[in-house]
Amino acid sequence: MRFELTEEQSLVLATARDFAKREIEPKAASLDREARWPSEIIAQMAELGFLGMAIPEAHGGAGLDYLSYALVVEEVSRACASTGVIMSVNNSLFCDPIYKFGTDDQKARVLAPVASGKALGAFGLTEPSSGSDARTMKSVAEQQPDGSFVLNGAKNWITNGPHAEFILVFAVSTVDPVKPRHTALLLQKGMPGFTVAEPDHKLGIHAAHSATIFFDNVRVPKENVVGEVGGGFKVAMATLDGGRIGIAAQAVGIAQAAFEKAVAYSKERESFGGVIANLQAIQFMLADMATELEAARLLVHRAATLKDQGKKHNAEASMAKLFASEMATRVAHKAIQVHGGYGYSTEYDVERHYRDARITEIYEGTSEIQRIVVANSLLRE
């Protein structure tokens, strides 16, 4: 495995770093405080090609690779974790499966506008009573004699839900208590019977709006089936293999921001006759933070590279997400500790990083689910 970025990847990284520093970071605290959807930043990211990064240009994307995507998610999340997840869901959870499993018609009609950022996409798997055990979802898509489906049910915590034009929804198409089969369906805002609730209230990532979505006898044409009828669960799982790399990169970005702020503060704050950076208690914390951050970043780059090479990457994506998300919480926790009482104040960014880090251990599969995926892979080999 190589550790050097290509010239193109380095250029993408530099562009993202500069953009995030200039255009996103100055707004991040107020976006969080006001829970404001960053529409102007999303428009700028569309211009830069950040909304469909690993999708070929012929389908509206930037034609780059998944490692470049992970690099950009890290930089964007380092500035603002909310913006990072909006971008990640659009790229990994919407564009990626439509590109991989969609028909030519779906690529022209749906992928092109979403990958180019003219419209946003969302992913509907989780339900009020089925999160980790995704197979037990209750939404039902009943096939009609003409091949279309009638969809009933609800999906919750749908990131981008209040603003997305399209959503990829998973529903039971063959009801069976032992082995239900699922089908992936494309829904568009405005379809009769499709309603979106008010945005959720959350601990962190306040600017990344999520909501519950209800389906009441929504008629979905057969042209909107993504993949095989009955093959939807595999579409969901394969999609999450890529999505988890995006969330792992988001976690690294959040941790990087918290770490940098801890280093800067330690060089300013005086205590016991000098700056606290001189104290071994602080130095040991900073050394642990830096080491864990670097280890997580390498796991993310390895998983992204395997995906780029078309190799199996599900356990590697789960390892990256498991380690990076728990690392981000530890690093943000220590960043608050380095700041002492000020770290607990909303005047300093580290409390936001701490709240934002926490979700990375939960969405796109909790840490416990990542351990299941890793263990299943180990025991199968």
Q: Which residues bind ligand CAA (CB under 6 A)?
A: 85, 89, 93, 123, 125-126, 132-135, 157, 159, 233-234, 237-238, 240-241, 314, 363-365, 369, 372-373
Closest separation in Å from C-beta 141 to ligand CAA: 17
Residue 376 CA to residue 47 CA, distance in Å, equals 41
Q: Which is nearer to ligand CAA, 156 or 266 (CB)?
A: 156
Nearby residues of 327 by Cβ (< 8 Å), 6 or more positions away: 251, 252, 255, 292, 293, 295, 296
Burial group, residue 277, by CB count within 10 angstroms (0-12, 13-18, 19+): middle
Distances (CA, A) of 367 to 133, 136, 316, 323: 13, 19, 14, 9
Q: Which is nearer to ligand CAA, 337 or 367 (CB)?
A: 367
Structure tokens at 370: 């990542």
Closest separation in Å from C-beta 125 to ligand CAA: 4
State which amino acid sits at residue 288: D
Closest separation in Å from C-beta 284 to ligand CAA: 34
Q: Which is nearer to ligand CAA, 49 or 84 (CB)?
A: 84
Nearby residues of 36 by Cβ (< 8 Å), 6 or more positions away: 30, 207
Residue 36 CA to residue 206 CA, distance in Å, equals 7
Q: Which is nearer to ligand CAA, 89 or 335 (CB)?
A: 89
Structure tokens at 199: 């945005």
Structure tokens at 272: 């016991």
Q: Which of 223, 364, 368, 381 is catalytic?
A: 364
Residue 40 is a catalytic residue: no
Residue 247 CA to residue 103 CA, distance in Å, equals 27
Residue 187 is classified by DSSP as E
Residue 160 main-chain phi, psi, to 5 deg: 75, -5
* 3-state SS class at 150: strand
Q: Which is nearer to ligand CAA, 148 or 314 (CB)?
A: 314
Q: Which is nearer to ligand CAA, 31 or 134 (CB)?
A: 134
State which amino acid sits at residue 79: A
Q: Rounded to an integer, what is the distance from CA 21 to the centroid of its chain?
A: 20
Closest separation in Å from C-beta 18 to ligand CAA: 26
Closest separation in Å from C-beta 356 to ligand CAA: 13
Residue 157 CA to residue 237 CA, distance in Å, equals 18
Closest separation in Å from C-beta 373 to ligand CAA: 5
Q: Which residues are catalytic?
A: 364
